Amino acid sequence: MRDKYNVLFLCTGNSARSIMAEAILNQRGQGRFTAYSAGSHPSGKVHPQALQQLERSHLPTANLRSKSWDEFALPNAPKMDFVFTVCDNAANEICPVWPGQPLTAHWGIPDPAAASGSLDQVERAFREAFVTLDRRIALFLSLPMKTLDALTLKKEIDRIGTQ
């Protein structure tokens, strides 16, 4: 493996979970990882509650945007080392062919953007999604990338998706 890795987080709308994962990994994995996010059917905007959750966690939000996964299948797109789906819909869709054969895993998380009820209930749904993503990303960052073979690494990233 290399010294620096590219990671793509996928979701259908690219408005909440994948956006939060991108922000978390870019902050926590500085120097070792560059994270991106995209959606199969992007909403075109980042959910305001996702931005609020990131700001509450002191993570930068300035360059976050909802975008199509087609951007990352183009010839001039960054080569991905890892691709993680964070919603069940995206996991079941036929993904583009990613150049370089990245390792993939499904890290499904309930959609906080679908939460209903009081403002407190909606904020709790975003906070729970954030905490789960943050925990999984911390586990991912703790993996000894350079010493694991591809098969072992694949098993580990799959296991993280169940945590």
Closest CA to 158 of 93, 102, 103: 103
**Is 87 tagged catalytic?**
yes
- Of 87, 103, 137, 160, which is the active-site residue? 87
**Is 7 tagged catalytic?**
no
Tokens of residue 19, six digits = 């956006």
What interhelical angle do 119-141 and 17-28 show, nearest 10?
40
Please state whether beta strands 82-85 and 103-106 pair in parallel, antiparallel, or not at all (unpaired).
parallel
Give me the phi and psi of 73, to 5 degrees please. -100, 0
- Of 7, 8, 10, 11, which is the active-site residue? 11
Helices (H) and strands (E) in the chain, counts: 5, 4
Say if CB 131 and CB 137 are below 8 A apart: no
- Of 1, 73, 95, 148, which is the active-site residue? 95
Say if CB 153 and CB 104 are below 8 A apart: no
**Is 40 tagged catalytic?**
no
Report the catalytic residues. 11, 87, 95
